[in-house]
Amino acid sequence: MFQQDAQGKEPYRRLAEINRAITTSLNFDEVLKLIVENAAQLVTARVSVLLLVDNDGLLRMQAAQGIRPELMTSFVGRTEENVIKKLRESLAIAPVESLASVPVIAKHSLTGLLVVSRENPLNEEEEWQLSALADQAAIALGNARLYEMELAEANRSRDQTRTALRASNRRISKILESITDLYYSLDRHWRFIDVNKQTEIRLGKSRKELIGKVLWELFPRAVATSLYEQLHKAMDEGVAVHFELASQVVPSAWFEAHAYPSKDGLIVYLRDITQRMEAEATRRLLAAIVESSEDAIISKNLDDTIISWNKGAERLYGYSANEVLGQPVTILIPSDRFDEEPAILDRIRHGESIEHYETVRRHKDGRRIDISLSISPVRDEAGKIVGASKIARDITERKRALEKIRFQARLLDAVE
């Protein structure tokens, strides 16, 4: 049977309670206090002192119970054989009292001493209990120190993060002021809370006139546009939206809009795409003109591959677009005319245009067609020649009529 302690509990059970008490806290000063309090209770000691080795290798009192507070700083000693004797003298402990000490060891090195004083010497069981408490104390102190180090590092990191965040916010503000996009943020009541310079310029209102004002009240014409519908969707559903709109606020302008929910409301970016939309409208108009033309209009790349084909080409040659797109242009050329194409392509590569070039082409059913060709170089955005556009007109009937006239002229000459 184990000897019962002063509170009538088995040693293992009591030590388990002490371990929970001193390891639950991660506050270093609180852990120091708990160690000396529990050491005194564990062996019914009048005095309990915890000394720790400082950076200079000196033992200093860090916590104590049963002594006057001013004595805490009265002792500094080295880890020598007579250190306990010097401690007794420093604390003025009577010679009749028994002084016992156990080492506090962490990572195989002495980090301190746990010292108790009472009337009677410790028995073997009590010495074991005090040594076990010292081992628990080493673990608790190590955890508390580690936590304080991590906390200090976290604080430093947080301070650095805040500094970096402030710098980042300044950079972002400068960027937002310099971009050509319109940027503004709205609160949940649709009031402007931030705008960049481009927004002031394009909306024709100063920052002072915008901030705090409701978007829909300042610009009522916007209520009837997709901007109203899409921004409400982003705000109500908490989703990002992306759309294009013809502005009713900025005359004749098209914008690509992006709206993102935020903790305050919405962040909105508007990119001017007026030139792109005008170019697309022009391309659509040209495409419609090409498609409705009675002439055959096709284009090819510099590898002689057909890349566009209109309805006029379908009527002239008999092939649908699906049948010829991606095919070599020689599908339309009779074999006795193959030598024409390299010469034409060479002139195109040199930037020349060819007007009203009369030649022969082949219909899908094998018939030969007399045509007049006008050929122009096709350039990319950088001005580089990337292909050719061909406009072909059927002149078969004209050629027949011309031949008939010539035949009649020859016949008249013969009669004369």
The CA distance from 261 to 255, in Å, is 19
- Side by side, the strands of the sheet bearing 58-65 are 76-78, 58-65, 47-53, 109-118, 98-106
In a domain, 165, yes or no: no
Higher per-residue pLDDT: 308 or 180? 308
One domain for residues 264 and 340 = no
Q: Torsions phi, psi of 314, nearest 5?
A: -65, -40
**Of the residues 106, 134, 151, the one at which a domain ends:** 151
One-letter amino acid for residue 85 of the chain: K
One domain for residues 27 and 139 = yes
In a domain, 322, yes or no: yes
One domain for residues 23 and 99 = yes
One domain for residues 127 and 229 = no
What pLDDT score does 285 carry? Answer: 76
In a domain, 170, yes or no: no
Average pLDDT value for residue range 74-95: 81
What pLDDT score does 161 carry? Answer: 65
In a domain, 282, yes or no: no
Indicate the number of domains in the chain: 3
Range of the domain at 227: 179-276
| CATH number of the domain encompassing residue 359 | 3.30.450.20
pLDDT tens digits for 14-32? 777 777 777 777 788 888 8
One domain for residues 317 and 360 = yes
In a domain, 67, yes or no: yes
CB 59 within 8 A of CB 83: yes
* C-beta neighbour count of 189 within 10 angstroms: 9
| CATH number of the domain encompassing residue 70 | 3.30.450.40
Sign of the CA dihedral 247, 251, 253, 256? negative
One-letter amino acid for residue 336 of the chain: D
**Of the residues 250, 276, 302, the one at which a domain ends:** 276
One domain for residues 271 and 327 = no
- pLDDT of residue 204 exceeding 80: yes
What pLDDT score does 393 carry? Answer: 87
What pLDDT score does 76 carry? Answer: 85
Q: In the structure, what pLDDT confidence band is assigned to residue 1 with cuts at 50, 70 and 90?
A: very low
One domain for residues 323 and 372 = yes
Q: What is the mean pLDDT of the chain?
A: 83
**Of 79-83, 101-105, 235-239, 364-368, minimum mean pLDDT range:** 79-83
One domain for residues 268 and 300 = no
Average pLDDT value for residue range 23-51: 85
The CA distance from 287 to 230, in Å, is 31
In a domain, 409, yes or no: no
pLDDT tens digits for 159-178? 676 666 665 555 544 444 44
One domain for residues 242 and 269 = yes
Q: In the structure, what pLDDT confidence band is assigned to residue 4 with cuts at 50, 70 and 90?
A: very low
Q: In the structure, what pLDDT confidence band is assigned to residue 216 with cuts at 50, 70 and 90?
A: very high
Highest mean pLDDT (candidates 134-148, 201-215, 399-413)? 201-215
**Of the residues 243, 276, 309, the one at which a domain ends:** 276
Q: In the structure, what pLDDT confidence band is assigned to residue 113 with cuts at 50, 70 and 90?
A: confident
- pLDDT of residue 192 exceeding 60: yes
